[in-house]
Amino acid sequence: MTAIPQGRRTRRAARAGALSAVALVVGAALAGCSGDDPDAGTNGVGKLPADRIQARAKAAADAAGTVHLAGDVVTNGRSYRLDMRLKPEGGTGSVTSQGVTFGLLRIGAQLYLKADARFWSSADGDKSGGTDSGTADKLDGKYVKVPQGDPAYKRFSGFTDKNVLLDGLLSLHGTLATDGRHEQSGVRTVRVTGGKGSGGALDVSLEGTPYPLLLRRAGDAGTLVFSEWGKDFPLAAPAQGDTVDYGKQLPAS
C-alpha cells in the first residue's frame, strides 16, 4: 500500500473540517426556517410581557378608525347578541335580546331605534309595558328617534359608542399572563389572560397591527369577535319618510 504524504493528509483533513462547518451552518439555517421560532414573520408582540401586549392591543384599537364586533355580551343580568360596526362619530348594527332583534343607528348625538311591531307591543321585550297594537303597527320597520332623556337612550347608546364600548370590553381582571399561541380566522394570535382565565382572555393578532381579535369576558359574560379594523363603512341618517319623532319620550318607555 502506498503511503499518503503528510501534506496531502493535512489538506484532506482541512477540507473535511470545512465541509463539517458548512453543514452545521446550513443545518442551523434550515432549523430556523422550520418554524422553531414562533415569532418568525410576526409583528413581535408575542415576545412582550402580558401587560405590554394588552397595552399595544388597546392602543391599536384606539387608533383604528372603525371596527366590526359580533358576539354575546351579558350585562345587568341580561344577555345581548351584538352585530355592530363602529366609528368615532357613531355606529350601526343589530342587537338581539330575549329573542327580539332591533336595529340601532347613531350619528353624532342622535340615536335611532328600528324594530318590528312585536318589539314595540311586547310587554316582555326590551320595552317595559308594551305599546298598543295600533301604535306598534305604525312604528313597525321605522327608525324611531330616541330622545336623550329617555331611559332607552342611556341603555342602548353605549352599544354604538366605539370608545366607551371598547374601553369597557378590553380590560382584563386579575394578574395578566400570556397563554400560548392560537389562531383566529386564519390569523396567528397570542393570548393574554387575566387571573388565569377567570378574569377574561384576549387574543391579539401576531400579524400586522396587533389588533384585538377575540375576547372572552370574565365570569362567562360573553364572547366577542373583532374584525374589519380600519375598514370604513357608510353612516347616514335615514330618509325622513322612514323616521318617526316622538319628542321627549318614546311610547311606553
Residue 27 resides in a domain: no
pLDDT band at 13 (very low <50, low <70, confident <90, very high): low
Residue 233 resides in a domain: yes
pLDDT > 50? residue 27: no
The mean pLDDT value for 131-154 works out to: 85
pLDDT band at 39 (very low <50, low <70, confident <90, very high): confident
Instruction: Report d(CA 150, CA 196) in Å as an integer.
Output: 40
Residue 210 resides in a domain: yes
Domain region containing 83: 45-245
pLDDT > 50? residue 31: no
pLDDT > 70? residue 8: no
pLDDT band at 40 (very low <50, low <70, confident <90, very high): confident
Average pLDDT over the chain, rounded to an integer: 85
pLDDT > 60? residue 205: yes
Residue 20 resides in a domain: no
pLDDT band at 168 (very low <50, low <70, confident <90, very high): confident
Q: What is the CATH number of the domain that holds 136?
A: 2.50.20.20
pLDDT > 70? residue 185: yes
The mean pLDDT value for 34-61 works out to: 90
pLDDT > 60? residue 125: no
pLDDT > 90? residue 253: no
Residue 8 resides in a domain: no
What's the confidence (pLDDT) of residue 2?
Answer: 53
| Domain total of the chain | 1
Residue 253 resides in a domain: no
pLDDT > 60? residue 215: yes
pLDDT > 80? residue 210: yes
DSSP states of the chain as a string? -PPPPHHHHHHHHHHHHHHHHHHHHHHHHHHHHTT-STTTTS-SGGGS-HHHHHHHHHHHHHH-S-EEEEEEEEETTEEEEEEEEEETTEEEEEEEETTEEEEEEEETTEEEEE--HHHHH-TTSSSSS---HHHHHHHTT-EEEE-TTSHHHHHHHGGG-HHHHHHHHS---SSEEEEEEEEETTEEEEEEEEGGGTT-EEEEESSSS--EEEEE-GGG--EEEEE-TT------PPPGGGEEE-TTS-TT-
pLDDT > 70? residue 159: yes
What's the confidence (pLDDT) of residue 104?
Answer: 97
The mean pLDDT value for 67-74 works out to: 96
Residue 15 resides in a domain: no
Q: Cβ distance 193 to 177 under 8 Å?
A: yes
pLDDT band at 184 (very low <50, low <70, confident <90, very high): very high
What's the confidence (pLDDT) of residue 213?
Answer: 98
Residue 198 resides in a domain: yes
Sign of CA dihedral 24, 25, 30, 35: positive
What's the confidence (pLDDT) of residue 22?
Answer: 44
